[in-house]
Amino acid sequence: MAATAKAPRIKALVAGNWKMNGLKASKKELAGLARRLAKGGRPACDVLVCPPATLVSLLKDEARGTRIAIGAQDCHAAASGAHTGDISAEMLKDAGAGFVIVGHSERRADHGETDAQVRAKAEAAWRAGLVAIVCIGETEAQRDAGETLKVIRSQLSGSLPKAATAKTTVIAYEPVWAIGTGRTPTSADVAKVHAAIRAALVKRYGAEGAAMRILYGGSVKPSNAAELMAVPNVNGALVGGASLKAEDFYGIISAYIKG
């Protein structure tokens, strides 16, 4: 593949992952975010909220006519069948999702999801017409052992299907030790890992890899968003805790509002 692909302009994506939080009343947070986005300057990024599956349809209705897209947090690899409690990518699409997160470290840890399963879920997302947000990231022990780049490269090659394109796929680099802890890597560390991800993507996918969005995730908040989002090869954020409150999430999106 062409390792010399020129760096294209990439529109950033700021995505909120509500995890297992939110009831019907939480639609007021989405409405609050929509109001802030309508009043403030136009952000130079796309905005996405991924609520629990129970709220996808409700929030899709609430988001109509706003700048907010709605996504989901996981899908089964099959389109339908005897999988009690699971939800397919087709069902999420039908409910109004445009994106789905796959391979989040909490799914890898809590449900033992492997790279191969994550890859199958990404393919399922495309089959249903969803964009797959594929998460990768090292644990603290792996980081301390100096294995970050090795882990990242291995997760990328195992979790990303061969046919990934910049339109169908987003990468989220989330160091596991930074998720929900208030700790973040230094900007220099983020730059090093994102550069390695970009190099791996370009090597495997050529121009598509050069254009693929690479999000940073892990304790992003209004106070550190501008610095993290300014790091080369950081094309947006995947945000957990700080996406639950409209004001905080807007504070992060503000990193992409000029003036």
Binding site for ligand PEP (CB under 6 A): 17, 174, 179-180, 217-220, 238-242
Minimum distance from residue 221 beta carbon to ligand PEP (Å): 8
Nearer to ligand PEP, 96 or 218 (CB): 218
Provide the token pair at 47.
Answer: 């905005």
Nearer to ligand PEP, 209 or 241 (CB): 241
Minimum distance from residue 126 beta carbon to ligand PEP (Å): 21
Report the distance separating Cα 235 and Cα 226, nearest Å.
Answer: 12
Q: At what angle do helices 27-39 and 246-253 cross, to 10 degrees?
A: 40
Report the distance separating Cα 114 and Cα 53, nearest Å.
Answer: 22
The reply to whether 83 belongs to the active site is no
Beta bridge partners of 154: none
Q: Which of 106, 113, 123, 174 is catalytic?
A: 174
Minimum distance from residue 242 beta carbon to ligand PEP (Å): 6
Nearer to ligand PEP, 5 or 97 (CB): 97
Minimum distance from residue 243 beta carbon to ligand PEP (Å): 7
Nearest CA to 152 out of 169, 126, 134 is that of: 134
Nearer to ligand PEP, 201 or 242 (CB): 242
Nearest CA to 201 out of 227, 173, 174, 178 is that of: 173
Q: Which of 90, 104, 123, 194 is catalytic?
A: 104
Provide the token pair at 54.
Answer: 């129970």
Nearest CA to 113 out of 151, 155, 83, 61 is that of: 155
Provide the token pair at 253.
Answer: 């999106």
Nearer to ligand PEP, 71 or 217 (CB): 217
Minimum distance from residue 240 beta carbon to ligand PEP (Å): 2
Nearest CA to 55 out of 82, 88, 95 is that of: 95
Nearer to ligand PEP, 159 or 219 (CB): 219
- Tell me the residue nearest to ligand PEP as measured from the CB: 240
Minimum distance from residue 212 beta carbon to ligand PEP (Å): 18
DSSP state of 243: G
Nearest CA to 10 out of 232, 239, 259 is that of: 232
The reply to whether 76 belongs to the active site is no
Environment class of 10 (CB within 10 Å of its CB; exposed 0-12, middle 13-18, buried 19+): middle
Active site residues: 104, 174
